């Protein structure tokens, strides 16, 4: 018989709003913070699957949104 108990994980995210899981008893690596969700590996991965709908890093999303706004502004200028 095994003494194995299921590990508890927490959902973590970095400054680029990229998600991952980390064992709850371990210290978080630099650049990552706890998101607030904790549970089994499967529960944490399911949560990430529900909330992380745009895989692009936050800096790329902001840049693309800025470029799109710039194009929209130029299109509305009178000729």
pLDDT per residue over 26-60, tens digit each? Answer: 999 999 999 999 999 999 999 999 999 999 999 99
Statement: residue 1 has pLDDT above 50: no
User: Looking at residue 67, what is its pLDDT?
Assistant: 82
Cα radius of gyration rounded to whole Å, the chain:
19
Burial per residue of 13-44, b for 16 or more beta-carbon CB atoms within 10 angstroms, e otherwise: beeeeebbbbeeeeeeeeeeeebebebeeeeb
User: Looking at residue 70, what is its pLDDT?
Assistant: 77
User: Looking at residue 2, what is its pLDDT?
Assistant: 45
Statement: residue 14 has pLDDT above 60: yes
* Cα–Cα distance list, 63 to 15, 53, 68, 79 (Å): 15, 18, 9, 27
User: Looking at residue 72, what is its pLDDT?
Assistant: 75
Cβ 48 vs Cβ 13: under 8 Å = no
More confident residue, 16 or 4: 16
Read off the pTM: 0.74
């Amino acid at each position: 018989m095994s003494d194995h108990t299921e590990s508890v994980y927490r959902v973590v995210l970095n400054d680029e709003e990229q998600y991952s899981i980390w064992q709850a008893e371990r210290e978080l690596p630099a650049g990552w913070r706890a998101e607030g969700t904790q549970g089994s590996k499967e529960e944490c991965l399911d949560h990430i699957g529900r909330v992380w709908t745009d895989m692009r890093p936050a800096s790329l999303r902001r840049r693309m949104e800025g470029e799109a706004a710039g194009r929209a502004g130029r299109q509305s200028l009178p000729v």
